[in-house]
Every structure is written in structure tokens, then in C-alpha cells.
Structure 1
Amino acid sequence: MARLSDAELRELKQGLVAAVVGAGVDDAALSVLIRQLTTDPDALKPVVQLSLNDPSRLAALNSTGLMAGGAGRTLDTVALLAAEALATPFVAISLLDDSTELLAGLNVDDGDCERVRSADLSIGKFTVATGIPFIVDDAKDHPLLAGHPTVLSGAVGAYAGIPIFSDDDDAVGSMCAWDTHAVNWTGGQILVLQDMADLASAKIFRRPI
């Protein structure tokens, strides 16, 4: 992969942020990104990887020991509570290092969802790379997700992810919910997901609640 200039990386990051925030915020940057993705589906990989590789972010994540230790019952309970509050079938606490995604908390049995996978297959990487919520009502129509394997397979039809931050405001993962069909996420659901992301962060970094 050719090394991109700083200007090209900035352009890609602007397009990524525009795509995550949604139409109407920066349509020009979004249009440029869509053209780039049409030519090269992996166009965003360098800017996402730059965020995933950030030393401060990785240090915060590694300090939790979760990437090495795997899932925890406490975080599964947080995911289960979130799923019940949102009335949605799937909720996970996703953590990402530079190459791997771990669903450290999950509301369904392990046999129903893969806990560990390549970061390349993660949807949560877009939340981590931008540090902002990623709310998608219909994944089939979204420029970042329409061609994603989990969307093409029908496993993900709608997605909502809220960043999980360390004590130093590094995004280490996301609190995410998804369904197999399109969903009109409500403001109340997003607020609940934000509250649960804050709870997950407190559990992960052992802060008082």
C-alpha cells in the first residue's frame, strides 16, 4: 500500500467523520469519500489504522488486561442490561487493539456471535477512529457498511455504536447495538446506549460508579 501524504490522510479523515456523523454535516467531504471508496474499497484503511496504532490509546487499552484475558462476566452483564433496556437483540462491548477486535461483553451466547476477530472486520473501528457515535438506521444504504461482510450476510441490518473512553479520553472501543433488520434508532435509545457506554468504561477502568 502506497504511503499517503498528510493532506491525503486529512482528506480521508474528514470523509470518515462526515460518513459517521451522517448526511448534511459535510456533504462535500462525504462525496469525495464515496468516490474514493468506489475506486478502492480499502481507501479508509490507512487512516483507520493510524488511529488504531496510536500509542497512547494502546497503552490505555493494554492497562486493562482485557485483550489478553478475554471476556468478563461483569461486562457480559452490562451488555445484557443494555440489550434489555434498548429492546434490541444484540449488544456488545467491543475493544480494539491495532489488529484485533474483542467483544469483551456480549448479551448472547458465544455460539451465537464470534468473540474475537480481525479488526478489519470490525464495524466498531469507525467509532474508535473518529471518537464519535456511529448511528446507522439501514446498513444496506450506508457508504461505510453497504459492502461489509456482516451486512451482506444479513447479520447486521442496523447499527449503533458509542465510543468507550479511557481516563485520558482515548477511544479504546465502543458500546454497540445492532439488529438484523433496519431500525429507526430513537433519541431515547441513543441516550441509554451512552449511559451504558459510561458504565462499561467505569467497569473497564475500575472507576467508581
Structure 2
Amino acid sequence: MEIGGTIVSSLEYSGKISLVIFMAKCPLRCPYCHNAEILEGGDETTLKKIFKIIDDSLDYIDAVVVSGGEPLVQIDDLLEILKYSKSLGLKTKVDTSACYPQRLNKILKYIDYLAIDIKAPFDRYEEVIGAAIGKKVKKSMEIANQDSNTFLECRTTYVPGLLDHEDIKQISHEIKCDLYTLQQFRNKNVLDESLENVETPNPLELKTLANEIKQFLSQVKVKTAEFGEESI
């Protein structure tokens, strides 16, 4: 398997200390991707080595988070990591673009927390990220909602110029999840260098937008560099 590294974090799984494993490779090329260095591949490792990292971290972690890249590209290794983590009594979380609904279906019972990146209204995916996967993302969301044991977060990175307020409002009507997070775009380390000139959205703008859509959703948060995660 190929990974981009591991870290221990208190931010990636709310209320828990987690070991975060960044699995390499992704079929998408989102212009604002901040992990572009692992889109094509990463460092070769083995499941045995990953299991040892998990074992060595047991004294101070509550969860294992698998992010990317797109973890479901390496579905067999992902499945084994989730099974092993659950066997140790750890909570599990997966971050995904949700472009592989059938693969998600195979691993959902081993996931406590699923975070799906909603990159645009479903009918605007190709325009925004260059990949017409909106129907697949919607299907993944529907699959996740069938499992009451999995907490589902949908999250959107608000990139001015790629998305506008009407897009976010449309998304709020299209999704069903336990939590919707509106994330602040940061113009550092992005795949499309032209986005380095796009101004980072003001936190107040994101809070205002979140307040406008919260009536349609179970729970809404805003995530910014200035203030971290804030419930609206």
C-alpha cells in the first residue's frame, strides 16, 4: 500500500485523539486540493507496519482516522485497517470524496464516523472540479444514511470563484447528514496555482451563510483558520 504519512491529532475526530493515516492516490484533481503531493502515489509500506503504528499509539489515542488522497482507491488495505482498529476497541473515521459508492457499501459497517466532501451541487461537479461524479456522491450519501450506527458529516470547502452563496444554499437542500461543515478555503499549497491569488473568505461571511442555511440541516458548523470549528 502507499501512504502520505501519519500524524496524531485532536482535530480530525471531534472529542477524540486520533491516529490519522493519509492514504495516497486519488482519481480526482480538485483545483483547491491541499494534498496534491500524494495524488499519484506515496511511500510504500505494509499493513504490518501500519498495525504496529496503531499498536504503538494505543496508550494515547481513541480513534483511527483514514484520510487521503482518496482512501477507497486502496479499498482492500483500507478494509483491513478498519477491521484491525475496531478489533482493538478504537473508533474509526474515514474521509472520502464519495466517488466509490459500491466500495463504501463494503466497509460502512466498520466505520463509526464518515466525512463526505460535498464539492459542489450535484449537477455542478464537472464544472467545479472537472469530474462528473455528482450522482455517485449522492448515492454514497444515501448508502451512509441507511446505517444508523455511522455518524455522517458532509462538508464543503467554500472557494470564491468556484462556488457562490447560491451553490451553498442549493447544497443545503440536496444533502441529508448529521452535520454539515462549511470550510474556509485557504490559498496555500493548492493544486491549481491560479487559486493562490483567490482571497480567503472572511469568517463573518461564512457564518452569515451558515445562518442562512441552518434551518434546512440538522447541525451546521463553520471551520476557519482564525476561530477553528464553531457551531452555528
Q: Indicate the TM-score class for this superposition, using the shorter chain for normalisation.
A: under 0.3
Greater Rg over alpha carbons, structure? 2
- The structure with higher relative contact order (CA 8 Å, sep 6+) is 1
When normalised by structure 2's length, the TM-score is 0.25
Q: Determine which structure has the larger strand proportion and give its number.
A: 2
When normalised by structure 1's length, the TM-score is 0.27
Q: Determine which structure has the larger helix proportion and give its number.
A: 1
